[in-house]
Structure 1
């Protein structure tokens, strides 16, 4: 069982989600406007659907930019927001607490 499945989200988890969801929605808008519209509506209504939740979980995992690698050990991931492994866990915890499998 992953750590995010065992722990309740904290207020700081919600702050991370609030910071990263707009970045996710903007990126989704560029690639799939319909999916972004559905996700944005769900986010505003507090009812992020299962497919949207899974997309957010996958996105935050793929966008981790603080990998603890240095220049000699691996590439730096570029992106519009700094996303740490702890941020990823915060989003996953928050999603799990909302009843989404992560």
Structure 2
């Protein structure tokens, strides 16, 4: 692993650590049981494929820094700013752990 790869891995981990709590909190509002299961998997360091797909879909849907203006849309409101680079970090992080993105 090169120094660049290590830095990317560290950065990706930081992004995931910042966004997963937001994802779990949002999930809890919609499906408390699913949120509890996902949190248990997260806390144990394991994410089943279905949970990883849910995270992938969520982060993709929540990208808020799109370059669109108010007239062009989309308006994705949420408690965290999520950039396209953040989305890519989450995707890389999941792929590095063997999940299909």
TM-score of Structure 1 vs Structure 2, range by shorter chain: 0.7 to 0.9
1:80 and 2:76 matched:
no
Please state whether the residue corresponding to 1:39 is helix, strand or coil.
helix
Cα distance in 1 for partners of 2:33, 2:75 equals: 31
Please state whether the residue corresponding to 2:59 is helix, strand or coil.
helix
How far apart are residue 68 of structure 1 and its match? Answer: 0.8
Cα distance in 2 for partners of 1:89, 1:78 equals: 19
Please state whether the residue corresponding to 1:54 is helix, strand or coil.
helix
Corresponding residue number in structure 1 for 2:68: 69
Cα distance in 2 for partners of 1:28, 1:39 equals: 9
Within a 5 Å distance, the mapping from 1:1-102 to structure 2 comes to 10-102=9-101
Cα distance in 2 for partners of 1:74, 1:56 equals: 23
Q: Structure 2 stretches of 5 or more lacking a match? A: none
Cα distance in 2 for partners of 1:77, 1:95 equals: 23
Q: CA RMSD in A?
A: 1.6
TM-score, reference length from structure 2 = 0.88
Q: Structure 1 stretches of 5 or more lacking a match? A: 1-6
Higher RCO (Cα < 8 Å, 6 or more apart): 1
Aligned length: 96
Q: Deviations over 1:18-70 (max 9, x none)?
A: 00000000011111111111110110110011111000000000000001112
